[in-house]
Structure 1
């Protein structure tokens, strides 16, 4: 039997707290799970620094990727299987793209990418197309198969229906992470009726649509997403940890530029500091490696790097106040000057952070992120954009919510004999 259609002699199952069981019958999927690039995802948390806020959030991108695969498997094997609009030849492509959609994520993904100006999607593509175990498995299906999988994940594949299963405003990726992240953080916001959503999904040429009778399940999903972003993903304590993490990496990078003699040399970072990295260097970095450096850098002679690492390792996070940069820019300049007078480097100890989210939007050509709308399939066969039918969704459609915070180490602003007046001024401005 050709490899693409080969099945395991006996179905393999992963016990899962969200989906109960994750089922694997395809040999291709089983072989992909066993690759070293996919196994690496066990060593990368799904929610980065969120475990410092919600102690249960220790789950990995490995578990999430399996969850996305399982949702897509249920869609293509159960929901779409006998639908004339669905081409069964796209089944394996959909499953592989679902499983591998996050394979390029780095440690503490978004903070890490921001500092070093990296793109996990570019690394995902390189893992799928490069000289890797993942590529070797996909190439056994067909020499062009890795390219098709990479195009689906990169949202450039001509089959927009398959792309929408992985990347749309209501897709398998979001359906898994909302439920999984809610489960592991212990909050109730991210739960919605996925069983109902799957039952009302219908394939169309360009994307998945939803039967009108399932509109309330779609509303529930969107509100769950909205709540999870503001109660979990943008939690100010998590953002404080991200600020610390970002500043540690900035400091290490700057010290390397200055030829600082590290007691514990950042061997795993050199190629990234110098922007001469390759895929092999990138794949050697995971969160256990980064946490090792943070642990030993507490003993570095550089007081800033040492202090920032101590704070991160021991969860001695920065405090925060609400801060509107449009109205309070003069206050920020004044604080920077006072921090310098107090001997506290504002580059590392006075940090502005902003979080923004657009929970649902109809399609707006030319926007930075073009969003396909969610369509309802009406009883007469007509497609109607969701916010035109739902008052709840219409109320939040197109409305971006933004939250601004100013982070600082409150303990360094306590009175001392030499800088008492300056620190008192700082506390007065910050109203702490």
Structure 2
């Protein structure tokens, strides 16, 4: 047995020192499944817009765990009973909540595997870790799945005001330089409370909640849905789609073994056995980047062209507007692409496509943010907030985009 000191600290640029609370958490952080998150970017392709946005899921997971430690401390101070086992379950669940992310986070979620969400993969990886750690993650998995009777524990991990969102907004704002996303996580956590096993916020924290929701709305428009990072991620999914097509008709593409496995196989959730999970856990951003570099010189025009465009940040043109993009406009651009590059109609779809993006700061249909008023009554933040009376943060905003080669815009 290793005599390593397991009660270490990390120096984090956001919060200062983050402590590892126990040996289980240390061993989980040391596990290859978790160390892989050092090689998964937190903001996908956003570094093409914001050069500082090179932070990883590893950073984020540790930050979210640190906020959970603070939340447990605050709730205990307010006489909310949380046992040592429940505390460990909360810390483990938030630490591992993103462990199932694929390369470039959300960018390739539907390209590497078929119709499998990263939370489903996180759960599969957690269950395998639980087997390796002799059942020590059982309560954490129960909380993560929403099967534990104390509902506030799941709300701390996944809700409209959870430790995950608090960390990624503050962290992504810091690394990208988008100041509008910065939030006061300390204030928000100090306002936490629990009533009848439901998470609530003290009424005096209402302005911090409004700031949090506004910051989330602005971060989506300015960072996560920025048109340049959007088109880069779309192009990345197109590259993987083309690579899969070529591989499955017998073309052998130079790439890593884990990536080759997923190019060769259409893998759905039910097929994720131990072997497939091990292949997925070996896959990270570096597999994709090294493949793109190799594919730049491939004989297939689509694969080489898209790979070169991403590597050199010479991306497709993207127009975003409030109006729907007509089929006629798409067809017109595709016809021009067919002429300019001598492509078939099917091949032109790799260079011209449309879609839509949505942004909503607060979903009134989802589980509400509950406000504990001074008279001990509880109401939805909708009823308490002046901001929400204007409906500004409730509205689902939909925008439409079309992507096409820059050469067509110059014509």
Q: Structure 1-normalised TM-score?
A: 0.85
Instruction: Flag the 1:294–1:172 CA change in 2: closer, same or farther, 3 A.
Output: same
What does 1:161-240 correspond to in 2, within 5 Å? 161-240=152-231
Partner of 2:244: 253
Write the distance in 2 (CA, Å) between the matches of 1:236 and 1:155: 35
Q: Is the 8 A contact 2:68 2:94 kept in 1?
A: yes
The equivalent position to 2:262 in structure 1, one of 272, 289, 301, is 272
- 2:45 equivalent in structure 1: 49
Corresponding position of 1:383:
378
Q: Could you tell me which residue of structure 1 aligns to residue 315 of structure 2?
A: 317
Cα shift at 1:190: 1.2
Q: What is the rounded CA distance, in whole Å, between the counterparts of 1:409 and 1:311 in structure 2?
A: 10
Say whether the 8 Å CA contact 1:360–1:396 is kept in structure 2. Answer: no
Partner SS, residue 78 of structure 2: coil
Alignment of 1:253-402 (within 5 A): 253-262=244-253, 264=254, 267-273=257-263, 274-276=265-267, 278-322=276-320, 326=324, 328-342=326-340, 343-344=342-343, 345-362=347-364, 364=365, 371-394=366-389, 395-402=391-398
Q: Relative to structure 1, is the Cα distance of residues 102 and 135 closer, same or farther in structure 2, using a 3 angstrom cutoff?
A: farther
Q: State the alpha-carbon separation in 1 of the partners of residues 374 and 338 from structure 2.
A: 66
Tell me how far apart the structure 2 counterparts of residues 329 and 306 of structure 1 sit (CA, whole Å).
Answer: 27
| 1:29/1:96 contact within 8 Å kept | yes
CA displacement, residues 208-265 of structure 1 (integer Å, 9 cap, x when unaligned): 2111111111111111111111111100000111121011101101111222243x25
Change in CA separation of 1:412 and 1:95 when aligned onto 2, cut-off 3 Å: same
CA distance in 2, matches of 1:327, 1:106: 30
Please report how far the alpha carbon of residue 341 of structure 1 lies from its aligned counterpart in structure 2 after TM superposition: 3.6
Where do 5+ consecutive residues of structure 1 fail to align?
Answer: 1-7, 365-370, 415-423, 425-432
Tell me if structure 2 keeps the 8 A contact 1:121–1:154: no
How many Å apart are 1:325 and its aligned residue? 6.9
* 1:269 aligned counterpart, secondary structure: helix
Q: How many residues align?
A: 392
Aligned counterpart, 1:125:
123
**Which of 235, 240, 257 is equivalent to 1:244?**
235
Superposition map of 1:14-25 within 5 A: 14-25=10-21
Decide whether the 8 Å contact of 1:178 with 1:191 is kept in 2.
Answer: yes
Partner deviation per Cα, 1:383-429 (whole Å, 9 max, x = no partner) = 01101111213423541111211111113665xxxxxxxxx5xxxxx
**Cα deviations by residue, 1:350-385 (Å, 9 ceiling, x for unpaired):** 0213211221022x3xxxxxx210111111100011
1:195–1:306 CA distance, 2 compared to 1 (3 A): same
The structure-2 alpha-carbon separation of the partners of 1:209 and 1:324, relative to structure 1 and needing over 3 Å to count, comes to closer
SS in 1 for 2:64: helix
Distance 2:386 2:252 in 1: 61
Q: 1:85 aligns with which of 70, 80, 84?
A: 80
Take 1:10 and 1:152, find their aligned partners in 2: how far apart are those partners? 25
Q: Kindly name which structure, 1 or 2, has the bigger radius of gyration based on alpha carbons.
A: 1
- 8 Å contact from structure 1 (residues 323, 405) kept in 2: yes
Query: For residues 327 and 63 of structure 1, do their structure 2 counterparts lie closer, same or farther at Cα, with a shift above 3 Å needed?
Result: closer
Provide Cα deviations, 1:239-295, integer angstroms capped at 9, x if missing partner: 111121011101101111222243x25633343231256101111111111111111
Shift of residue 207, structure 1, vs aligned partner: 2.8
TM-score, normalised to structure 2, is 0.89
- After TM superposition, list the pairs within 5 Å mapping 1:39-78 onto structure 2: 39-76=35-72, 78=73
Equivalent-residue separation in structure 2 for 1:383 and 1:258 (angstroms)? 60
User: 1:149 offset after TM fit, Å?
Assistant: 1.8
| Alpha-carbon separation, structure 1, partners of 2:15 and 2:250 | 50
State yes or no: 1:26 paired with 2:17.
Answer: no
- Partners of 2:397 and 2:362 in 1: how far apart? 11
2:141 and 2:286 mapped to 1: Cα distance?
28
